Amino acid sequence: MSSGANRLAKVYECIENIEFILNTNDLKITHAIEDKIMKPAIRMNIVRIAEQFSKLKDDNEFKILENFTSEDLKGISSVRNYIAHDYDSTDDNIIEDVVRYNLPIFKTIIKKLLTDN
């Protein structure tokens, strides 16, 4: 597996970690992102996802990155910076939107890319 595919697999794993957190605890997204135990785990996985996309860019994996919209890539990077630099003030609604809307899109694209490889 190429380094780009490995990075995608790590992103996929992080998304599945978030899904596991939500499914195991039978919590709605809104409750999970407010929970004292679940919140840091979800946020850390979002940071890990953004880091892998950053590394794909650093590795010049543009063939992989072109499968994602520039808005989604900029968005996940912005959310990562927001979490990392202003953790206590991070708006839970933003995290909820990422989990609810962006991550399923990433997962679908990554699954297709990994299957096609």
Averaged pLDDT in 10-residue chunks for the chain of 117 residues: 92 96 78 83 95 96 96 94 80 90 97 92
What pLDDT was estimated at residue 70?
94
Number of residues assigned to the chain: 117
Please answer whether residues 95 and 43 qualify as being in contact, where contact means their C-beta atoms are separated by less than 8 angstroms. Answer: yes
Rounded CA-CA distance 87/104 in Å is 24
**Structural domain tally of the chain?**
1
**Per-residue confidence (pLDDT) for residue 74, from 0 to 100:** 95
Distances in whole angstroms, Cα of residue 102 to Cα of each of 1, 59, 60, 88, 112: 25, 23, 23, 22, 16
Q: What is the pTM of this model?
A: 0.90
Show the tokens assigned to 113: 């890319």
pLDDT of residue 13: 98
Give the residue numbers spanning the domain of 91.
3-116
